[in-house]
Structure 1
Amino acid sequence: MQPAKYTHLIKQVAAELGFSFCGISKAEFLKEEAPQLEAWLKRGYQGKMSYLENHFDKRLDPTLLVQGAKSVVSLIYNYFPEKDLAVEGNLKVAKYAYGEDYHFVVKDKLKIFLERLQAEAGEINGRAFVDSAPVMERAWAKRSGLGWIGKNSLLLNKQMGSFFFLAELIIDLKLEYDDPVKDYCGTCTACMDACPTDAIAQPYVVDGSRCISYFTIELKEEIPADVKGKFENWVFGCDICQDVCPWNSFSKPHRESRFEAHTDLEKMSTQDWKEITDEVFQKLFRHSAVKRTKLEGLKRNIRFITGE
Structure 2
Amino acid sequence: MLSKTRYTNAIKAEAKRLGFLSCGISKAEYLEEEAPRLEKWLNNNMHGEMRYMENHFDKRLDPTKLVEGAKSVISLLLNYFPSQTQNPESYKISKYAYGRDYHFVIKDKLKQLLQFVETEIGQVHGRAFVDSAPVLDKAWAAKSGLGWMGKHSNLLTKEVGSFYFIAELIIDLELDYDSPTTDHCGTCTACLDACPTQAIVEPYVVDGSKCISYFTIELKNEIPTEFSGQFEDWMFGCDVCQDVCPWNRFSTPHREPLFNPHPELLSMDKKDWEEITSNVFGKLFAKSAVKRTKFSGLKRNIEFLKK
TM-score range relative to shorter protein:
over 0.9
Equivalents in 1 of 2:42, 2:3: separation in Å? 41
Judge conservation of contact 1:86–1:93 (CA < 8 Å) in 2: no
Q: For residue 183 of structure 2, what is the amino acid of its counterpart?
A: D
Who is 1:190 aligned against?
190
Equivalents in 2 of 1:50, 1:73: separation in Å? 27
Tell me the secondary structure at the aligned position of residue 266 of structure 2.
coil
Who is 2:201 aligned against?
201
Q: For residue 38 of structure 1, what is the amino acid of its counterpart?
A: E
- Offset at residue 243 of structure 1 (A): 0.2
- Offset at residue 86 of structure 1 (A): 5.6
Who is 2:19 aligned against?
18
Q: Where does structure 2 lack aligned partners over 5 or more consecutive residues?
A: none
**Aligned residue pair count:** 306
Q: For residue 234 of structure 1, what is the amino acid of its counterpart?
A: W
Partner deviation per Cα, 1:159-197 (whole Å, 9 max, x = no partner)? 000000000000000000001000000000000000010
Q: For residue 187 of structure 2, what is the amino acid of its counterpart?
A: T
- Offset at residue 90 of structure 1 (A): 2.1
Who is 1:8 aligned against?
9
Equivalents in 2 of 1:78, 1:45: separation in Å? 28
Equivalents in 2 of 1:238, 1:95: separation in Å? 8
Equivalents in 2 of 1:254, 1:267: separation in Å? 20
Judge conservation of contact 2:85–2:266 (CA < 8 Å) in 1: no
In the alignment, structure 1 residue 164 sits paired with structure 2 residue 196: no
Equivalents in 1 of 2:149, 2:28: separation in Å? 19
Tell me the secondary structure at the aligned position of residue 263 of structure 2.
coil
Tell me the secondary structure at the aligned position of residue 24 of structure 2.
strand
TM-score (norm 2): 0.99
Partner deviation per Cα, 1:105-151 (whole Å, 9 max, x = no partner)? 00000001100110011110100001000000000000000000000
Judge conservation of contact 2:194–2:244 (CA < 8 Å) in 1: yes
Who is 1:218 aligned against?
218
Q: CA RMSD in A?
A: 0.6
- Offset at residue 266 of structure 1 (A): 1.2
Judge conservation of contact 2:72–2:173 (CA < 8 Å) in 1: yes
- Offset at residue 84 of structure 1 (A): 1.9
Identical pairs, percent:
63
Q: Where does structure 1 lack aligned partners over 5 or more consecutive residues?
A: none
Judge conservation of contact 2:217–2:236 (CA < 8 Å) in 1: yes
Tell me the secondary structure at the aligned position of residue 127 of structure 1.
strand
Equivalents in 2 of 1:180, 1:194: separation in Å? 28
Equivalents in 2 of 1:226, 1:3: separation in Å? 56
In the alignment, structure 1 residue 299 sits paired with structure 2 residue 299: yes
